[in-house]
Structure 1
Amino acid sequence: MGKSLFITEKPSVAKDFAKLLKVKGRNGDGFIESDKAIFTWCVGHLVSMSYPEAYDESLKKWTLDTLPFLPKEYKYEVIPSVAKQFNIVKSLLLREDIDSIYVCTDSGREGEYIYRLVDQMVGVQGKSKKRVWIDSQTEEEIKRGIKEAKDLECYDSLSESAYLRAKEDYLVGINFSRVLTLLHGRIVSNILNEKSVVIAVGRVMSCVLGMIVEREREIQNFNKTVFFKVLGDFKLDEDKVFQGQWKAVESSKYFESPKLYNETGFNKREYAEELIRFLIENQEEPKAVVEDVSRKTEKKSAPLLFNLAELQNECSKRFKINPDQTLANIQGLYEKKMLTYPRTDARVLSTAVAKEINKNLFKLSKFSSDEELQGYAKNILDNKWYSGLVKSKYVNDSKITDHYAIIPTGEGLDNFNGLKSLEKEIYLLVLRRFLAIFYPQAKYNTLSITVNIKDEKFFTTEKVCVEKGYLEILKPDKKDKEEKESTFLNSIKKGQILNVSDLTIKEGETSPPKRYTTGTIILAMENAGKLIEDEELREHIKGSGIGTSATRAEILKKLDNIEYIQVNNKTQIITPSLKGEIIYEVLNNSISGLLNPKLTASWEKGLKLVVDKEIEGIEFMNKLEKYISQNVAKAEEKNNFSIPDIVSNITESSRVELNKINNKIQKKIKGNKEKENLESIGVCPICKSGEIICYEKGYGCTNWRVGCKFFVGKVAGKVIERQQVEKLIKEGCTDKISGFKSKKGNEFEAKIIIKDKEIKLDFN
């Protein structure tokens, strides 16, 4: 009987597998071997897609006539930096004494792709191949995963979607980056005063850039609206006063009036003053009547469990760290067996896990490093609050694709004290969210009072938490302002007469949308471009997002690295850079679909349909190639936009940056002009700020880098004399000039004029 080969994604995981399976063997170079099994690893990706020049050396040079680039068969190659480990894995896969291969890379699309590329490059034949699919690195879960391992071919549709996703990113990146750089790279480099610029395009990356730029422009273009509310102070006796807010309900004389901003406020102060005059006229001491008093009890359940996006958003808010840092910390906790698999979109548990959740709770009840949380776990066990979990909203098999929500395993607790402080904070955050779902609901008493003055209604609502329930565990950072209890309100009765001690006007104003943070942009990516902060609503509308839980942090990191966005490390607020806005404009003027979140999400949904075997991979690929071809052609058609077209819509902060670049350029031009004795012959009649300089090839404006189109060199084969250029600058028109030649060689005469801020020929 031959040996079994276990292939993991990282060396540490392979060592953990060997240790947990109690396999003792020798450590080889890149593997661990015993008499029955061998453990090796991939150190991430060992194989990648080849660049176009691998297909044809001529494709190394970027040219329009080689686009679109759509290979019939795709080429792959070993990544040079990890070639040694690839050869080790290859030699093990081909060893004759290996008859069973257990694929133990991360249980997701990317992990599947990592192994399949290796298998493809090696050409493994005639061996049993099993897929180990696990949700945590605990001994129990690893043993279960190996015992229940399915044939690798059961995951072929997942593998196919992984290949398609890689091809999609590859084709979008290569074709659109090349075509836009060839068409517009020079104009962008001129604007930014850089030697050369590659316009980097990505299927998901460009869409996220669009979301960030558009949000910044919404904020800049926001016009605030001022509105005016009317508040009433109502007195029971000298020290018992409460406040109500006026609202234009059906009985109001202002119901659906054009004077309203909305049902609770006016669009002008004078209208609010008019209401107050009406309420107090003919009354020495204005009175009000309590028209209605209602009391009800509300219950609120703990929020759903964390998926990766939710946890990244929460960590961004609480700890001011970016999604990549959050993922790195959770991954570390996963590898220490403390948390379940992190790259998940699900916020619920599976039925199978829920049925045995008491095992996690029992282990957590031994968590001596935090006696408070240990006590909560014991309390849940003692009261058997876990018994109804299976039928709760926290368990839903239909909402789980690859993995259930991130929860504590209850293991690895002896590692806690050795964790870094941030790792501890994140672990406790997940632990509290997990324990909270077992605790009773929070209970609120809500008292609503309606006060009537001349059929105009004022409303007061007081909400008080009477039973904390799960809030005892989650401990909200800020106490809800609604929970300030005025006990005397309980004594108010319907029909009671109240004194109106004051009627005041409160001015309010609308607020612009908030900038994205590294956390909220992840939520917006998950929900196809919508930032939905309400947790319950978010769960209802959730569909195909932009990118995946495994890739979203990396997308943000790349946008930051290539300087398309700027991230404030203290606040995690994201703003677009000048370069990012310029690239956005190039995309918007050429292939605007790349900026559309819904379109990008539809491609992600297509990959999901491939996984679910609802469509064939060839159908997806045909649509992708058609999209690439059509949009390369579209980009080539829309190649006539200018620098003013690109910079006209940039935000104020980017314009400040652009002015700095322009000032630097002008200073350099001035220095060169003095150094090379270049003569100015006047102020530019087009941009009104640059100077017209006599250069080697003609007369041009010093503001050419930022889009000024004044340049007079050789026109239709005729060198224009200086005196005519001076006349053009002063009068906007030259004399009639002879000696021009058409393309057929025929001579003609014309004037040179300035029209629509461009240099043109006039034949009149």
Structure 2
Amino acid sequence: MTKSLYIAEKPSVAQEFAKALKQNMQRRDGYLESETSIVTWCVGHLVTMSYPEKYDPALKRWSLETLPFLPENFKYEVIPEVKKQFNIVSGLLHREDIETIYVCTDSGREGEYIYRLVAQMAGIKDKKQKRVWIDSQTEEEILRGIREAKDESEYDNLSASAYLRAKEDYLMGINFSRLLSLKYGNAVASYLGTKYQSISVGRVMTCVLGMVVRREREIRSFVKTPFYRVIAGLSFNGRNFEGEWRAVKGSRYFNSPLLYKENGFQKKEDAQKLIDELKAQNPLIPRVLKMERKKENKNAPLLYNLAELQNDCARFFKISPDETLKVVQELYEKKLVTYPRTDARVLSSAVAKEISKNLRGLQQYNICRGLADEILQGESWKKIGSTRYTNDKQITDHYAIIPTGQGLGNLRNLSELSAKVYETIVRRFLSIFYPSAVYQKVALVTEIGGEQFFSNFRVLVEEGYLKTMHYSFFRKKDEDENGKKDEETTCDPAFLVALSQLKKGSELNLLGLSMKEGETSPPKRYTSGSMILAMENAGQLIEDEELREQIKGSGIGTSATRAEILKKLVFIKYLALNKKTQVITPTQLGEMIYDVVHQSIRPLLNPELTASWEKGLTYVAEGSITSEEYMGKLENFVTRHTVNVKQMRNQFQLKSSFDASAPYYKKASSTRSGAGKSTSSRSSSAKSSSNRKKTAQNT
């Protein structure tokens, strides 16, 4: 009797496939077997790219003469730690009774790469191979994925882009890390007082390092500019409020060189002069010049993709993107949410048609039961497929992260943090079924002594989707600190009604004129969450969510790799991450590496260029360009910059760059003395051999 073989990426996923098949599975060493099926698993990657010394033993020694290293045919090898499982999987692939192989690794580029390497090393060619592509690990979705599995050859372009991504990271890591370590490693080590310093370079991580260093230098060079605003204290109907002066057309200071923008002065005495000029008029009576009333609708935000979720979790819970990914991966494996490594923020039309199943499941989720009940009693869920929250064109591999409505029995086994992240995903999902929040806004312009003062009022009149955003884990203060201030009102509804009775020429009471000092603010440092968003948007930290979505394209790295890149930069001590605030800053070593790259291979620091490489991989996956075209450009890039750096004679010029940043790290430098310094040197020396090897493949 022939059998089908199912290959999952992890043992836990294999267990879910075995359960869904509902066959009498017997446990074997490294797999499960029934009369008609076998389910086995990888343990992440089983195969990796070989180090240069496997091509030629002489390449184990780092030398400028052997660079650039560009093999015609790349070599791969089984990872020693998982060789046993590879042999088990390989043996199953070759069993004569296996007729069809179902590829069940994660539905994405990396999952495809994991299986293709195994099949390549095992030498599988003639067996029928089918690709299972699923969005969650619910039984229903697993069975659908098996039923609709396509021939593995339909994913050849995706596989090609996966191989190219690995080759690109490998070639840039091997060549540029060796190149810069050999060329400048001694200069860096000598400056820091260490015995040896490797320089780790990667297509994505070096670009991210550059973003952080540039931001830090912007903050250092920022000079605060004070400015002075003139404020009128006003009263109407027993309520006090403020009006802010602006030098609009008609003002005696319109387009004056004394101004700092239109609402303030550069000097304190000029602001005081205006106040004195106004007070000299008697009587000084404020009169309404203009009043505008309008309603403002605010829609629920789009659904979560991984980057948006990582950003919110960094703000809400002060956890790193890597921690967020671990939590949401756990929720996925417990069937609670859909596939996490997604860039999409919308539903597919197919999912939109079946969305009632997710909603009905959430009726068993106590925290949001009332919301789910209310949605199902209405009609909005039936029309979700025709809204902006459903768009097949904005989906490549997977739709947004949403709750499945299943697996709720696993909630009791979740940590407090995991439960909070789940609630965050659920509330964002439920919000799209509610109408817009509606605000009533009043803009009041008051004329005082020939000058105009502006006041704005805002009241929430219809809660709409904001009803879903009352998180069980936030107090009011917490909500304010986590970006909810824009949803607050600036006056009560009764006062808004009173204001609405004002007409042009209506008189107000003047309580006084005063001056308020302000100052310009420096750029903000990146947090781990905002960095993920900046990476997604090719280096642009765009605060406005709607604008982010409009300009979105292939960013720096992918949803599956961004968290790991940040983690690696912290691990190799190029960046420092404050765990309490999640603020990212460069270390002295990281800033020095930035200077090395800036003076040798500057394009590696360019976010737009780095994003263009990622876009190229997308084109390969889509079939728009060939692997040969992409590989040709890659080899040319590596060769050109390697040759260029080898000819440089700029080691001594770097010292001035190192000197410029060193004062900002004096405190850290002063701790490297006495026993501490010798310990550091011994550690560096002992690790130098292994560091060289690890550095070469950093990405």
So what's the TM-score if we normalise by structure 1? Answer: 0.85
Please say if 1:501 is aligned against 2:496.
no
2:166 counterpart SS class: helix
Cα shift at 1:657: 2.6
CA contact (8 A) 1:465 1:483 kept: no
1:439-474 CA-partner distances (Å, limit 9, x unpaired) = 121111101111112432111110000111111111
> For residue 620 of structure 2, what is the aligned residue in structure 1?
610
1:314-354 CA-partner distances (Å, limit 9, x unpaired) = 11111111111110110011001100000001111111111
Of residues 441, 446, 453, the one that matches 1:446 is 441
> For residue 450 of structure 2, what is the aligned residue in structure 1?
455
Of residues 461, 479, 485, the one that matches 1:466 is 461
Please say if 1:647 is aligned against 2:658.
yes
> For residue 200 of structure 1, what is the aligned residue in structure 2?
200
2:179 alignment partner AA:
V
RMSD: 1.6
2:585 counterpart SS class: strand
1:342 alignment partner AA:
P
1:67-86 CA-partner distances (Å, limit 9, x unpaired) = 00000010000000000000
Of residues 290, 293, 304, the one that matches 1:292 is 290
2:508 counterpart SS class: strand
Of 508-517 and 156-165, deviating more is 508-517
Distance in 2, Cα, partners of 1:135 & 1:223: 50
Q: Of the two structures, which has the highest relative contact order with CA contacts closer than 8 Å and spacing of 6 or more? A: 2
Inter-CA distance 490–664: structure 2 relative to 1 (3 Å threshold): farther
Cα shift at 1:397: 1.1
2:531 counterpart SS class: helix
> For residue 320 of structure 2, what is the aligned residue in structure 1?
322
Cα shift at 1:431: 0.3
> For residue 718 of structure 1, what is the aligned residue in structure 2?
none
Please say if 1:415 is aligned against 2:426.
no
Of residues 559, 568, 574, the one that matches 2:569 is 559
Matches of residues 249-260 of structure 1 in structure 2 within 5 Å? 249-260=248-259
2:281 counterpart SS class: coil
2:201 counterpart SS class: coil
CA contact (8 A) 1:161 1:611 kept: yes
> For residue 304 of structure 1, what is the aligned residue in structure 2?
302
Matches of residues 175-186 of structure 1 in structure 2 within 5 Å? 175-186=175-186
Distance in 2, Cα, partners of 1:151 & 1:121: 20
> For residue 389 of structure 1, what is the aligned residue in structure 2?
384
1:287 counterpart SS class: coil
> For residue 749 of structure 1, what is the aligned residue in structure 2?
none
2:522 counterpart SS class: coil
Inter-CA distance 649–454: structure 2 relative to 1 (3 Å threshold): same
> For residue 95 of structure 1, what is the aligned residue in structure 2?
95
1:579 counterpart SS class: helix
2:415 alignment partner AA:
K
Please say if 1:266 is aligned against 2:265.
yes
Distance in 2, Cα, partners of 1:248 & 1:595: 42
CA contact (8 A) 1:217 1:651 kept: no
Distance in 2, Cα, partners of 1:95 & 1:471: 57
CA contact (8 A) 1:184 1:639 kept: no
Distance in 2, Cα, partners of 1:453 & 1:202: 61
2:395 alignment partner AA:
I
CA contact (8 A) 1:308 1:549 kept: yes
Cα shift at 1:533: 1.6
Of 12-21 and 47-56, deviating more is 12-21
So what's the TM-score if we normalise by structure 2? Answer: 0.92
**What runs of 5+ residues in structure 2 fail to find an aligned partner?**
472-478, 679-699
1:622-662 CA-partner distances (Å, limit 9, x unpaired) = 0000000111122223332325233133164324433554x
> For residue 755 of structure 1, what is the aligned residue in structure 2?
none
1:529-579 CA-partner distances (Å, limit 9, x unpaired) = 111121111111112200000000110111111111111111111111111
2:429 alignment partner AA:
F
Distance in 2, Cα, partners of 1:159 & 1:256: 60
Inter-CA distance 665–43: structure 2 relative to 1 (3 Å threshold): closer
> For residue 500 of structure 2, what is the aligned residue in structure 1?
490
CA contact (8 A) 2:230 2:271 kept: yes
**What runs of 5+ residues in structure 1 fail to find an aligned partner?**
669-764
CA contact (8 A) 1:46 1:83 kept: yes
Cα shift at 1:525: 0.5
Distance in 1, Cα, partners of 2:92 & 2:351: 35
1:325 counterpart SS class: helix
Matches of residues 212-231 of structure 1 in structure 2 within 5 Å? 212-231=212-231
1:277 alignment partner AA:
D
Q: Which structure: greater strand fraction? A: 1
1:581-605 CA-partner distances (Å, limit 9, x unpaired) = 1111111111111111111101001
1:379-420 CA-partner distances (Å, limit 9, x unpaired) = 000012212211111111111111010000000011112211
1:570 alignment partner AA:
K
> For residue 756 of structure 1, what is the aligned residue in structure 2?
none
Matches of residues 80-159 of structure 1 in structure 2 within 5 Å? 80-159=80-159
- The list of structure 1 runs, each at least 4 consecutive aligned residues, that deviate by more than 6 angstroms after superposition, is 665-668
Inter-CA distance 665–176: structure 2 relative to 1 (3 Å threshold): farther
Inter-CA distance 236–421: structure 2 relative to 1 (3 Å threshold): closer
Cα shift at 1:265: 1.2
> For residue 687 of structure 2, what is the aligned residue in structure 1?
none
1:508 alignment partner AA:
G
Of residues 596, 601, 604, the one that matches 1:594 is 604
Please say if 1:524 is aligned against 2:519.
no
Distance in 2, Cα, partners of 1:657 & 1:638: 31
Paired positions, count:
662
CA contact (8 A) 1:216 1:651 kept: no
Of 374-383 and 250-259, deviating more is 250-259
1:280-315 CA-partner distances (Å, limit 9, x unpaired) = 3231x3112101111111111111111000111111
Distance in 1, Cα, partners of 2:307 & 2:287: 50
Distance in 1, Cα, partners of 2:239 & 2:533: 45
CA contact (8 A) 1:443 1:467 kept: yes
1:389 alignment partner AA:
I
> For residue 71 of structure 2, what is the aligned residue in structure 1?
71
> For residue 397 of structure 2, what is the aligned residue in structure 1?
402
Distance in 1, Cα, partners of 2:552 & 2:29: 46
1:293 alignment partner AA:
M
1:500 counterpart SS class: strand
Cα shift at 1:213: 1.1
Please say if 1:435 is aligned against 2:438.
no
CA contact (8 A) 1:9 1:104 kept: yes
2:406 counterpart SS class: coil
Inter-CA distance 383–547: structure 2 relative to 1 (3 Å threshold): same
Distance in 2, Cα, partners of 1:482 & 1:272: 30
Inter-CA distance 638–454: structure 2 relative to 1 (3 Å threshold): farther
> For residue 646 of structure 2, what is the aligned residue in structure 1?
636
CA contact (8 A) 2:285 2:449 kept: no
Of residues 612, 623, 630, the one that matches 1:620 is 630
CA contact (8 A) 1:564 1:581 kept: yes
Distance in 2, Cα, partners of 1:24 & 1:649: 69
Distance in 2, Cα, partners of 1:564 & 1:519: 18
2:516 counterpart SS class: strand
CA contact (8 A) 2:284 2:449 kept: no
Distance in 2, Cα, partners of 1:592 & 1:664: 37
> For residue 31 of structure 2, what is the aligned residue in structure 1?
31
Distance in 1, Cα, partners of 2:677 & 2:301: 59
> For residue 332 of structure 1, what is the aligned residue in structure 2?
330
2:521 alignment partner AA:
S
> For residue 690 of structure 1, what is the aligned residue in structure 2?
none
Q: Which structure: greater helix fraction? A: 2
Distance in 2, Cα, partners of 1:272 & 1:115: 70
2:512 counterpart SS class: strand
